[in-house]
Structures are given as C-alpha cells and as structure tokens.
C-alpha cells in the first residue's frame, strides 16, 4: 500500500504540490498533461502565483495519485 500524502492548506498548496510531484518523479509537463493544464501553468501554481479553482486542484491531486483530507477543526 502506498503512503498517503495529504495537502495541508496552511503549508501552501503550491509548495505541497511541487514536493509531491518531485517525490513521484514527475516533471511539470507530465502533471500538466495528466491534469489537462495549460503549458507552464503548473509552475505558477507551485509558486503560488496563480489562482486555481478547487476543481483544478482536485485534478492535479488525482494526477499525482494523492488525496485531499478535509477534517473538522478542533475547538480551542
């Protein structure tokens, strides 16, 4: 069973996507093709210089064979 990687919003979605992509040994171009992104848009997403819809984030995450975990906040 593969180790699950979760994207934490507070860590920066772009940075986490970049780390996961590199762990998977994929190029930006390969992920762009798998997620149906425009050329060079993944670079802008990874550097948090591009607003991206949640749907597109899901497509990127799926192309990286990862999951997004949404959980209830704990009360302080």
What is Dmax (Cα atoms) for the chain?
43
- pLDDT tens digits, residue range 63-72? 999 988 887 8
Question: Domain 9-63: which CATH class?
Answer: mainly alpha
Report if pTM > 0.95.
no
Boundaries of every domain in the chain = 9-63
Burial zone of 56 (CB within 10 Å; 0-12 exposed, 13-18 middle, 19+ buried): middle
Question: In which region does residue 6 sit, left (phi positive, over 0), alpha (psi from -120 to 50) or beta (all else)?
Answer: beta
- pLDDT tens digits, residue range 14-40? 888 999 999 999 999 999 999 999 988
């Amino acid at each position: 069973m593969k180790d699950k990687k979760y994207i934490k919003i507070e860590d920066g979605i772009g940075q986490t996507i970049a780390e996961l992509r590199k762990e998977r040994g994929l190029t930006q171009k390969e992920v762009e093709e798998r997620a149906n992104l425009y050329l060079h848009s993944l670079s802008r997403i990874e550097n948090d210089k591009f607003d991206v819809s949640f749907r597109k984030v899901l497509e990127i995450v799926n192309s990286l064979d990862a999951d997004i975990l949404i959980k209830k906040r704990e009360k302080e």
